[in-house]
Amino acid sequence: MIEYIKGILTDLNPTEAVIEAAGVGYGIAITLPSYSALVGSEDKEVKLFITEIIREDTHEVYGFVTKTERQIFELLMTVSGIGAATARMILSAFTAEELRMLIATGNAKAMAKVKGLGTKTAERIIVDLKDKAIKLDLGGDPTEIPMLDVEAESGVKAEAISALTMLGFAANASGKAVDKILKADPSLKVEAVIREALKML
């Protein structure tokens, strides 16, 4: 069981980080909050807390900037019908604090806006995780990763569409959603654009 991977961040996009450690490059699936925290840290040493999902036909590695985010991810996967891909999408549509508030207040309607989740599954998340979510400490862990702004606005559209495509959405639909969002507010960062698009697609 891998607890964390610490090494040089060699590549980064909104859904994956590549960290080189001891001469090995690890492709690690990430959420939008972790992506936002990692932006600007390329070619620097970073640390991601790891959840491994090993099955007969696949070996997936998910990484998180904080232990708290990893804990929420793993809690989501204990709910019937929630797999790793859906858990990551939920944590990309809402911040950890937003998700905890939705669960604590029983707001299944807002949570169900995540594509493919549905009201029944959202309600199941609330029932299964309400007590556990309220107890979570979302203060976060100190990290060595600076919070920096996403680069030029010109790259926001391309990055957002690329991330949405990797999350399983059609490129054409993703492009239309991103265009609509950026037309309404051109100053949005890529993380915010993707989060809004996840609620539209």
CA angle 77, 115, 39 (to 5 degrees): 75
Does residue 24 share a domain with residue 74? no
**Residue 141's pLDDT band (cuts 50, 70, 90):** very low
What's the CATH code of the domain at 50? Answer: 2.40.50.140
Is residue 68 within 8 Å of 140, Cβ to Cβ? Answer: yes
Q: Is residue 186 part of a domain?
A: yes
Whether 98 is covered by a domain: the verdict is yes
- Of 64, 87, 114, the position where a domain reaches its end is 64
Tell me what percent of the residues of the chain surpass a pLDDT of 90.
35
Does residue 32 sit within a domain? yes
Q: State how many domains the chain has.
A: 3
Check whether 196 has a pLDDT greater than 60.
yes
Q: What is the CATH number of the domain that holds 194?
A: 1.10.8.10
Is 141 contained in some domain?
A: no
Same domain, 91 and 125: yes
Are 131 and 171 in a shared domain? no
What pLDDT, on the 0 to 100 scale, is given for residue 151? 35
Residue 143 lies in a domain: no
CB 15 within 8 A of CB 1: no
Looking at the structure, tell me whether residues 129 and 161 fall in a common domain.
Answer: no
In a shared domain, residues 56 and 74: no
Query: 123 and 75: one domain?
Result: yes
Q: Is the pTM of the predicted complex or chain greater than 0.75?
A: no
**Which of the two residues, 17 and 103, has the higher pLDDT score?**
17
Instruction: Please give the average per-residue pLDDT across 36-65, as a whole number.
Output: 92
Residue 165 located in a structural domain: yes
Computed over its alpha carbons, how large is the radius of gyration of the chain? Answer: 16
Using 50, 70 and 90 to split pLDDT, how confident is the model at 25? very high
User: What average pLDDT does the chain have?
Assistant: 83
Cα–Cα distances in Å, from 176 out to 89, 108, 160, 169, 187? 19, 27, 11, 12, 17
Asked if 50 and 79 sit in the same domain, the reply is: no
pLDDT tier, 138 (very low <50, low <70, confident <90, very high otherwise): low
pLDDT of 20 reads 96
CATH code assigned at 126: 1.10.150.20
The reply to whether 169 and 183 lie within a common domain is yes
Query: What is the model's pLDDT at position 144?
Result: 35
Residue ranges making up the domain that contains 184: 153-198
Say whether both 52 and 86 belong to one domain.
no
Indicate if 128 and 185 belong to the same structural domain: no
Q: State pLDDT tens for residues 88-129.
A: 989 888 877 788 888 888 888 888 888 778 889 999 999 999
Residue 137 has a pLDDT of: 55
Last-in-domain residue among 20, 35, 64:
64
Q: Is the pLDDT of residue 11 over 50?
A: yes
Query: What is the reported pLDDT for 68?
Result: 85
> Of the candidates 35, 5, 1, 61, which has an alpha carbon nearest to the alpha carbon of residue 162?
35
Residue 146 lies in a domain: no
Residue 35 is inside which H or E element, if any? helix 32-38
Q: Is residue 145 domain-resident?
A: no
Per-residue pLDDT tens over the stretch 56-84: 888 899 999 998 889 899 999 999 989 99
**Poorest-confidence range of 10-19, 22-31, 134-143, 187-196?**
134-143
Mean pLDDT score, 165-194: 85
Residue-level pLDDT at 81:
87
**Per-residue confidence (pLDDT) for residue 110, from 0 to 100:** 85
Q: Are residues 163 and 127 in the same domain?
A: no
Tell me the two tokens of residue 140: 């976060």
